Chain A
Amino acid sequence: MNKKIMLLLPLLVAILSRAQVTNDNNPAPSTSTSKDGQNKFAIFGNAEMTLVANKDNVQFGDVNFKPIFLWKMSDQLFVEAEAEFETGEGSVDIGLEYANMCYIVNKYLTLHAGRFLPKFGAYRGRFGEGFINRLATDPVGFGDGGIGAMNEVGVGAQGGFGLGDSKINYDLYFSNGPILLTDPENAGQFEYEGYVGNNKGKAVGGRVGLLPLTNSSLELGYSFQHKSKTGDPGTPYENTGLTMQAIDLNYFGHLTALQSDVRLIGEWKYQKVDTATYYDTNGVPYTFDNSPSAYYVAATVRPSHVHNIFVHNLELAARYSQFKTPAGAPWGGGNEDQFAISLDYWLRWNSLVKLTYQTEKGEPNTFFGQVVFGF
């Protein structure tokens, strides 16, 4: 009981902070719903389809439909949710991408609860989105099977504020966090996206972003996450801890000589897992240094300021990524290197066709054609 009271202290802080920015000149807004008595509701989202072609295979597939539901119930209350209909595994798979309830405490602080997009790094939940990612694929280590969660379930605090010519933004959250897998094939890997936790341990994580330039063209971010108990209760793995860190960069600017907008983005992330003894399929014990890492760098050029409409709608993108997996792990033991280049054509501000060519160590060179329509 006392523990619960202690954990409620941050809520007290939120209430105090709300009181702090409320005075006679800035009265607390009404807690009633919108003035016209109606919730403000809208649906947006996107649909995608990908063609995959290489020497072994040619197929249309990976059709996704992702409606996003948004409700602004009042100036303080906001809900965002995304459903996901996917066919990538050969059948229709329906999922809940996120359902996040937000409470705007004041201009510096928003509290949220639910299933939310990860605040660890900047690719997942942001640069990896269909019409934001200029390439048809994810960098190695940043898609399925990579480091970190695609979603988190928990609570968090976030916000942004100006400081001189700069801006700072922050995210801090508590979530169910990663669950350690110990079966022979996946020993040392994690189930990152549990709808429920496997023990009393919770992950704490966050990200701090700094935009040092007056025009907000550069953002640098540092993220962390830690969970001290990732294994199932009552097993030798219960107290196996995990720490992750990430650094990200995003630059957006104009290249006058090419009459183009340019974008440079990149991220590095690293995971360190406490030493544990696992058992192979024959019951033989072994251990390994479980510290995978991944990074990518990408650049895009779009001649946005050229008057010719066809040229204006083109965008060129290139990306290199690497995923280092631990030697000695049943699922690791090497570097995955990937290079991808893409020529895109924009049909609308959030709808495009991507023609991506990708080379990856140990995989056949592959062409991807992807259509993404935002709505």
Chain B
Amino acid sequence: MKKYIVISSFILAVSLGSITLISSCKVSQKVENKTGIQLWGENCGRCHNAPGPGEFSAANWEIIGRHMRVRTNITETEEKKIIEYLKSTAN
């Protein structure tokens, strides 16, 4: 029982601390100004050839964006900007 209390308290403390820390973190202006096409080139190509906008429909890109976020931990901003770019010229 004591073990579970210690573990849970530790997780609770670390999680709350992390959330507070992360929430107060800022990205640089350079990163904030990145466009969707720039983020697409930088992030997709890290593991595989980056598919062009015409490869999938706008509806599919939205699903793929979420799939990639949970598979590779890209940030929410990256997901949104990349998918906006891909949807803007998708089939």
Interface residues of A (CB under 8 A from B): 2-3, 6-7, 9-10, 12-13, 16-17, 20-21, 40-42, 44, 68, 70-72, 78, 80, 100, 102, 107-110, 112, 117, 126-127, 131-132, 158-165, 167, 169-171, 209, 214-217, 219, 250, 252, 261, 346, 349-350
Contact = CB atoms under 8 A, between A and B. Distances in A.
Interface string B61-82: 0111011011111111100000
Q: How many B residues touch the partner, as a band?
A: 35 or more
Contact of B23 (A21, A71, A131, A171): A21
Q: Tell me the interface secondary structure of chain B in the complex.
A: helix
22 contacts: A7-B8, A9-B8, A10-B12, A16-B16, A40-B62, A41-B63, A44-B64, A72-B62, A72-B66, A80-B67, A108-B23, A109-B19, A127-B47, A158-B73, A161-B22, A163-B25, A165-B31, A167-B75, A169-B72, A214-B30, A217-B42, A349-B50
Interface of B: 1, 4-5, 7-9, 11-12, 15-16, 19, 22-23, 25-28, 30-31, 42-43, 45-52, 55, 59-60, 62-64, 66-67, 69-77
Nearest to B59: A40
Given A70-B64, A107-B77, A131-B48, 11 more contacts: A9-B8, A42-B60, A78-B66, A107-B76, A126-B71, A162-B77, A164-B26, A214-B30, A219-B46, A349-B51, A350-B49
Contacts of A159: 73
A117 B16 CA distance: 27
A21 B70 CA distance: 19
Residue from B9, B73, B75 having most chain A Cβ neighbours under 10 A: B73
A105 to B, nearest CB: 10
